[in-house]
Amino acid sequence: QKEVEQNSGPLSVPEGAIASLNCTYSDRVSQSFFWYRQYSGKSPELIMSIYSNGDKEDGRFTAQLNKASQYVSLLIRDSQPSDSATYLCAVRGNTGGFKTIFGAGTRLFVKA
Amino acid sequence: DAGVTQSPTHLIKTRGQQVTLRCSPKSGHDTVSWYQQALGQGPQFIFQYYEEEERQRGNFPDRFSGHQFPNYSSELNVNALLLGDSALYLCASSLMGAEQYFGPGTRLTVT
């Protein structure tokens, strides 16, 4: 079992729709969760971080965390063609310097 | 406010050679982590440096080594290069190991 699992996609949504990206993780003691966006040929860009159960909203993005189910998701409202990228879920076990584990990413295509 | 910078941007090396990659963290950050990203995969953690010491290491052989300088900048060294070392090498900086911000990466090709 992979430590952080994501559906590789591609996930295709029409412009203006809600894109839903999901991630599961295996380490129950994980404390910190991150979503990164990576455009082709570029480095990952931090979108959201979430540390406690529930929802966290930032503009068009909402991160959702359920530690009991070991599940974290990212919703993108009013999807735009510029949102087309690979979205990486990342999980860290404890506070401080512990390593961050990344999923392989989900490719998102937003059709104009 | 300067973000994370890395050099060089691209590098081509031959099997068996050695390479050094460099990273300058975002202003105000004190922690540097290095990642290897193969095509179609997520970044894989190599190691993290804080206060000039390696704080944690991922599943990479001893051929991969690093260093952090007093100004928080860092180097990644890879010895005895293999074809499989071809990848995008990413540096990420953070304050006390919190949210990490990535540099543009160094694309290493081993022939």
Q: What is residue A50's predicted lDDT score, i.e. its pLDDT? A: 96
Which pLDDT band holds residue A4 (cuts at 50, 70, 90)?
Answer: very high
Q: What tens digit of pLDDT does each residue of A47-74 get?
A: 999 999 999 999 999 999 999 999 999 9
The whole-chain average pLDDT of chain A stands at: 93
Q: What is residue A1's predicted lDDT score, i.e. its pLDDT? A: 66
Which pLDDT band holds residue B2 (cuts at 50, 70, 90)?
Answer: confident
CB contact under 8 A, B43 and A88: yes
Phi then psi dihedrals of residue B62, to 5 deg: -65, -10
B58 chain-A contacts, CB cut-off 8 A: 99
Rounded alpha-carbon distances, angstroms, from residue A45 to A29, A64, A75: 25, 19, 16
Q: What is residue A28's predicted lDDT score, i.e. its pLDDT? A: 83
Closest CA to B93 of B47, B51, B32: B32
Task: Report yes or no: B69 and B52 within 8 Å, Cβ to Cβ.
Answer: yes
B100 chain-A contacts, CB cut-off 8 A: 34, 46, 100
Q: What is residue A94's predicted lDDT score, i.e. its pLDDT? A: 64
Long-range contacts of A40-46 (CB under 8 A, 24+ apart): A40/A85, A40/A86, A42/B104, A43/B88, A43/B90, A43/B102, A43/B103, A43/B104, A43/B105, A44/A88, A44/B43, A44/B90, A44/B102, A45/B102, A46/B99, A46/B100, A46/B101, A46/B102
A88 chain-B contacts, CB cut-off 8 A: 42-43
**C-alpha distance from A69 to closest chain B C-alpha (Å):** 22
Is the pLDDT at A97 greater than 60? The verdict is no
Q: A70 versus A1: which is more confidently predicted?
A: A70
Which pLDDT band holds residue A27 (cuts at 50, 70, 90)?
Answer: confident
Of A49, A97, A105, Cβ closest to residue B42: A105
Q: What tens digit of pLDDT does each residue of B8-48 get?
A: 999 999 999 999 999 999 999 999 999 999 999 999 999 99
Interchain CB contacts (distance < 8 Å): A and B: 52
Q: What tens digit of pLDDT does each residue of B54-104 get?
A: 988 999 999 999 999 999 999 999 999 999 999 999 999 999 778 999 999
Of A96, A98, A102, Cβ closest to residue B43: A102
Q: Which residue in B has a C-alpha nearest to residue A104's C-alpha?
A: B42
Is the pLDDT at B110 greater than 60? The verdict is yes
Of A46, A95, A99, Cβ closest to residue B58: A99
CB contact under 8 A, B41 and A104: yes
Alpha-carbon gap, residue A47 to A33, rounded angstroms: 11
From chain A, which residues contact B within 8 Å (Cβ)? 4, 34, 36, 42-46, 49, 88, 90, 95-105
Question: From the centroid of its chain, how far is CA B1?
Answer: 21
User: How many CB atoms sit inside 10 A of residue A111's CB?
Assistant: 11
Tell me which DSSP letter residue A10 carries: -
Which pLDDT band holds residue A2 (cuts at 50, 70, 90)?
Answer: confident
Structure tokens at B74: 């860092």
Of B42, B56, B90, Cβ closest to residue A98: B56
Q: A11 versus A31: which is more confidently predicted?
A: A11
Q: Exposure pattern of B14-44 as b/e (b: 16+ CB <10 Å)?
A: eeeeebebbbbbbeebebbbbbbbeeeebbb
Which pLDDT band holds residue A31 (cuts at 50, 70, 90)?
Answer: confident
Q: What is residue A58's predicted lDDT score, i.e. its pLDDT? A: 96
H-helix or E-strand spanning residue A101 = strand A100-102
Task: Report yes or no: B94 and B5 within 8 Å, Cβ to Cβ.
Answer: no
Structure tokens at A76: 């993108």
